[in-house]
């Protein structure tokens, strides 16, 4: 592609009609410097007032007594971005000293010589006229580029039309990655660069193409990938102008997609809410409405609740609107990750969103323990990824398998219970199956009552008092023994303690309960007391 510049270059000026007599004395490698203005030297420290891009005209009268002062001037002019120095020799200075020529060559700073018959106005007038004409040309080209993309917008063209138009204008291969749809749209060599639209492959594109991000409200919504060196593209004003106009149309297109998606998704999500709230009389009613979205409900369903830990409390304490927007963006990114993963791993998945949690209903044909394990595995993996990338944790609750979509409400209630109880028992950021809650479901009704506190004191009170008095760990040891199903050897291995130490602690616990060995009933009661204690502690009781 022919390289285009926003302004004239020193080289172009030398090729203008009437300028053939101007010669290059030094700094030939800097002839592609851009020229934005013409100035005349009237003071030795003229560089202090230079803004960059000027051709500086001089007779060198000021330095006629010490031509070496030119060296310092050239260094300063280079520093402030002056395009070149044009000097009239054989008037006050006959020739440039060798040292000045060497300095200009080292700095790639062009020094030109003007013929004796040239007045300064013979340079100033045509150069400024050319600059103005060039700027007018740039405006005209920019307007035509704008019209091309405006036409696409008027005709409701999509990403493909924008990519094709941009590619034609800048004569380069172009691709666009849409963060909203997770789609890669290409042109030319980029069209078939990858099979599928794996987001991870985008980083490969960044290695081989110049990338330009597209943002809406400071959120990255996609990337242009353009064939060519980033430095070369950024120096081409026409290319940058075309990318800017293409970005504007792409933003409108993405915003339209988001708006359409939100409208359609609102109806879909409300439908799923109606399912989990059991707002239907029968299964036929659900299936008929599902046909509007191309959904068929044939098999069994299980509900999965994804609850962002402490989201509401964090959001309420954020006063900065920008930070709130970032939190909202992260919230949707979490939904997106679970949605994409579940859709990839399972045949049919529908979902709905609430302020701080999401509900997924997953359909599968036959009961399979491996299926439940798969849901748990994927949820755990995503939780770790989200915590690392977004500084959030999520608690995942998985309900029981229900026989039909009409019964999905039951699975949803159980999944919600798994989140609430699991978070209070095992803490944040865990994946909990309702079926693993066991006796905790019953204990939830009584753990905060006085009867529960009396029960805890009866079976654990002496152990707790002993720990407080002796600063010991009998209660912690007892909890581990219970977890190990009262197997002292296994508990010693888990705690990395000698078996005799665990045996001694167990005997002490028996002594405190006024027995030589705990009976089966006592063990059951201690197990329940420990669970009640843990539920109370997690809930601040």
Domains (range + CATH), the chain: 8-131 (3.40.1390.20), 156-257 (3.30.450.40), 277-437 (3.30.70.270), 443-538 (1.10.10.2840)
Dihedral pair phi/psi, residue 360, rounded to 5°: -110, 135
pLDDT for 464 equals: 92
Distances (CA, A) of 262 to 64, 333, 343, 360: 75, 15, 19, 18
- Taking each helix axis from N to C end, the angle separating 520-538 and 474-483, rounded to the nearest 10 degrees, works out to 110
pLDDT for 2 equals: 40
Sign of the alpha-carbon torsion through 63, 64, 68, 70: positive
Of 349, 426, 417, which Cα lies nearest the Cα of 393? 426
Q: Which stretches of the chain score pLDDT less than 70?
A: 1-7, 42, 67, 137-138, 188-204, 366-369, 538-541
Helix (H, G, I), strand (E, B) or coil at 248: helix
Hey, which bits of 197-332 come out as E strands? 210-216, 219-226, 300-308
Helix (H, G, I), strand (E, B) or coil at 362: strand
Of 129, 131, 98, 93, which Cα lies nearest the Cα of 114? 93
DSSP-assigned letter for residue 23: E
pLDDT for 214 equals: 86
List all residues 6 or more positions away from 508 whose beta carbon is below 8 Å from its beta carbon.
466, 474
DSSP-assigned letter for residue 402: B
pLDDT for 487 equals: 92
Write out 171-202 in H/E/C secondary structure: CCCEEEEECCCCEEEECHHHCCCCCCCCHHHH
Residue 134 Cα to chain centre, angstroms: 40
Tokens 């009609």 correspond to what residue?
17
pLDDT for 441 equals: 79
pLDDT for 275 equals: 92
In angstroms, the CA 59 to CA 201 distance is 60
In angstroms, the CA 483 to CA 492 distance is 12
Dihedral pair phi/psi, residue 344, rounded to 5°: -75, -35
pLDDT for 200 equals: 58
pLDDT for 103 equals: 92
Dihedral pair phi/psi, residue 332, rounded to 5°: -70, -30
């Amino acid at each position: 592609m022919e390289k285009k510049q926003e302004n004239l270059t020193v080289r172009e000026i030398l090729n203008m009609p009437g300028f053939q007599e101007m010669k290059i004395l030094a700094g030939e490698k800097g002839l592609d410097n851009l020229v934005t203005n013409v100035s005349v030297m009237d003071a030795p420290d003229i560089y202090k007032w230079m803004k960059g891009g000027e051709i500086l005209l001089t007779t060198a009268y000021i330095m006629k007594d010490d031509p070496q002062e030119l060296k310092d001037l050239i260094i300063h002019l280079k520093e402030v971005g002056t395009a070149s120095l044009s000097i009239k020799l054989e008037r006050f200075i006959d020739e440039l000293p060798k040292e000045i020529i060497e300095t200009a060559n080292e700095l790639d700073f062009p020094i030109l010589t003007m013929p004796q018959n040239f007045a300064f106005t013979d340079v100033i007038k045509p150069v400024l006229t050319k600059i103005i004409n060039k700027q007018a040309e740039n405006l005209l080209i920019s307007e035509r580029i704008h019209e091309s993309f405006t036409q696409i917008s008027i005709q409701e063209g999509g990403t493909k039309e924008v990519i094709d138009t941009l590619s034609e204008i800048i004569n380069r291969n172009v691709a666009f990655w849409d963060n909203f749809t997770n789609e890669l749209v290409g042109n030319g060599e980029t069209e078939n660069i990858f099979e599928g639209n794996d987001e991870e492959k985008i980083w490969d594109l960044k290695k081989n193409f110049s990338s330009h991000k597209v943002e809406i409200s400071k959120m990255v919504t996609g990337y242009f990938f353009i064939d060519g060196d980033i430095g070369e593209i950024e120096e081409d004003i026409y290319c940058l102008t075309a990318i800017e106009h293409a970005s504007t149309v792409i933003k409108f297109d993405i915003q339209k997609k988001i708006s359409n998606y939100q409208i359609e998704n609102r109806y879909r999500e409300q439908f799923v809410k109606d399912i989990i709230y059991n707002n239907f009389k029968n299964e036929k009613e659900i299936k008929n409405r599902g046909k509007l979205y191309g959904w068929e409900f044939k098999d069994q369903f299980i509900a999965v609740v994804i609850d962002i830990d402490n989201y509401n409390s964090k959001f309420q304490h954020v006063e900065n609107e920008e930070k709130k927007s970032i939190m909202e963006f992260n919230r949707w990114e979490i939904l997106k990750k679970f949605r994409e993963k579940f859709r990839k791993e399972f045949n049919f998945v529908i979902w709905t969103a609430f302020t701080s949690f999401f509900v997924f209903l997953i359909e599968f044909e036959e009961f399979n323990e491996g299926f439940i394990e798969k849901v748990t595995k994927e949820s755990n993996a995503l939780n770790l990824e989200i915590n690392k990338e977004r500084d959030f944790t999520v608690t995942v609750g998985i309900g029981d398998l229900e026989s039909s979509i009409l019964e999905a409400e039951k699975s949803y209630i159980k999944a919600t219970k798994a989140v609430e109880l699991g978070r209070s028992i095992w803490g944040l950021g865990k994946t909990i199956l309702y079926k693993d809650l066991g006796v905790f479901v019953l204990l939830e009704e009584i753990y905060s009552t006085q009867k529960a506190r009396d029960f805890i004191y009866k079976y654990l009170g002496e152990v707790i008092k002993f720990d407080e008095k002796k600063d010991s760990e009998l209660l912690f040891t007892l909890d581990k023994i219970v977890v190990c199903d009262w197997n002292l050897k296994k508990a010693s291995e888990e705690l990395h303690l000698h078996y005799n130490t665990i045996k001694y602690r167990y005997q002490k616990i028996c002594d405190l309960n006024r027995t030589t060995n705990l009976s089966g009933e006592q063990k059951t009661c201690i197990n329940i007391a420990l669970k009640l204690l843990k539920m109370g502690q997690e809930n601040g009781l």
